[in-house]
Structure 1
Amino acid sequence: MVFKERTFYGEPPEGTVPPDQADLETRVANCLATVDGLDASDVSVVSKGNTILLAGTVATAVEATRAEDAARSIAGVAEVVNRIAVS
């Protein structure tokens, strides 16, 4: 049996997707899930580089502010774009 090294269009597969992007989204989403006074079940988190986009709906403007503050508190987040609507 012959084993070939894995490649993706000639590049190692680990080099095709930034390793920290999914990790950053996960860390922000986990943080939002644990914030007191925030129901983030309808909030989505998307990262592009070190920028986090928050979208979805919450019940009050205070919750939207809490979500943004929580996202900013995560190491590696440079900017937060808050597009959370209040229902």
Structure 2
Amino acid sequence: MVFKHQHFHETPPEVEAEFPPSATLEGAVSDALASAGGIDASDVAVIAHGSEVTLSGTVQLESEIARAEEVALGVAGVTSVRNELRFTRPR
């Protein structure tokens, strides 16, 4: 077997990021919500678009909505939060 080096004909190779910046930010916000006190974030989804984060899903208490936004804004790289969380009354 002969090994040949890759040739790109004067065009540098394109390297795709294994973890795009939005995925990294989403992970950081999700981790912060999971470890923050006063929030049950088990049904909260985090989606990042640039430095804006969207929180969606449900929480058990109305007070958790504001707390989730506060925690998300405290994560490095987040400049704004679109809070679409709803609360469901416990049965």
TM-score calculated relative to the size of structure 2:
0.80
Superimposed CA distance per residue, residues 16-75 of structure 1 (whole angstroms, 9 cap, x where no aligned partner): x88321111110000000111210000000000000000000011111111100000011
* Rg larger for: 2
Alignment root-mean-square deviation, CA:
2.3
Amino acid paired to 2:39: L
1:32 corresponds to: 33
Q: Secondary structure at the match of 1:14?
A: coil
TM-score calculated relative to the size of structure 1:
0.83
Task: Quote the sequence identity (%).
Answer: 36
How many residues of Structure 1 are paired with residues of Structure 2 in the alignment?
Answer: 83
Higher helix proportion: 1
Matched, 1:67 2:68: yes
Cα pair distance change 1:11/1:46, threshold 3 Å: farther
